[in-house]
Amino acid sequence: MSLPDHRLASLFLDMLAAERGAAPNTLAAYRRDLEDYLDYLRETGTGALDARPATISGFLASLEERGLKSSSAARRLSAVRQFHKFLYAEGHAAADPTAAATGPKRGRVLPKVISVADVDRLLQVSREAADQAAPRSGAQLRAARMRCLIELLYATGLRVSELVSLPASAARTRERFLIVRGKGGKERLVPLTNAAQDAARAYLALLEARGPIGRWLFPADAEAGHLTRQAFARELKVLAGAAGLRADKISPHVLRHAFASHLLQNGADLRVVQELLGHSDIATTQIYTHVLDDRLKNMVRDLHPMSNG
């Protein structure tokens, strides 16, 4: 007797968590995409094990009718494709109906990048806020925390989820690097600058002055026990406004992009940047090659003997 669709979806999500080490946020995204697909199957009177290529085409057409962006539709198809591959591999289904499915065409989306000058401005304002706050006040601790977050993010290129969940020991290390556990439980080394280490130690000293601290470098009353990504993003936008920058152009992810792009602009190897960002596939990192294009054009313009400048 075949299992109901919701049970098959649960088995798939369990596999992602157990075998691939998918993070809670990743599992939540897969669950939303699969629920949307299963809703479509119910509406059409089809079960997941009875799906055919025409079923997948119909689902994609329904996404287009609802006006989903091509990037969102492609993500849904990816989740559905992996779900059906799992059903086929585990022997629940006799075939994979997504084998011939093609997703919507996606334009090349370049990451938002801010200039080195803008990052310097953001860092300067964060330092001033930490220096000017009243000693031993909550405002001083918050300002020191924000300075620490930004210095660490720009120095390491961490994902925001990796940054806010750093252990307190990250601020105590004497090494010039951190060992970070990223997607899929994979560990990697990321560099630490002197400024980032100084900011982390200064913030930790203020934190410890308030009493014993627990596991997290950025503790909070949130369910996870540490600062949330959303809270950091909101505080960062406030700081951006204080720095005279457009708040809608600044986010934790934009600073991660700035880390990668500025390294490449200064001659870093793409493979090194891939390693630092924790990308499993260099194709993901190649989105940054637009900055290399500009650097190479400028090099030809400035150095080629036949160039007119």
Determine whether 159 is an active site residue. yes
Question: In the numeric block, which tokens belong to residue 9?
Answer: 């979806």
Determine whether 37 is an active site residue. no
Half-sphere exposure of 139 (CA within 13 A, CB side): 7
Of 20, 183, 188, 290, which is the active-site residue?
Answer: 183
Q: How far is CA 75 from CA 28, 31, 160, 298, in A?
A: 13, 12, 21, 36
Of 159, 226, 229, 257, which is the active-site residue?
Answer: 159
Determine whether 288 is an active site residue. yes
Q: Give yes or no for a contact between 116 and 266, defined as CB atoms under 8 angstroms apart.
A: no
For 14, phi then psi, to 5°, come to -60, -40
Of 20, 75, 92, 253, which is the active-site residue?
Answer: 253
CA torsion angle for 194, 197, 203, 208 (degrees, to 10)?
-140
Q: Give yes or no for a contact between 168 and 138, defined as CB atoms under 8 angstroms apart.
A: no
Say if strands 187-191 and 177-181 run parallel, antiparallel, or are unpaired: antiparallel
Determine whether 183 is an active site residue. yes
Closest CA to 229 of 153, 143, 164: 164
Of 30, 40, 154, 288, which is the active-site residue?
Answer: 288
Q: Give yes or no for a contact between 155 and 196, defined as CB atoms under 8 angstroms apart.
A: yes
Q: Which residues pair with 177 in a beta bridge?
A: 191
Of 76, 84, 256, 257, which is the active-site residue?
Answer: 256
* Catalytic sites, residue numbers: 159, 183, 253, 256, 279, 288
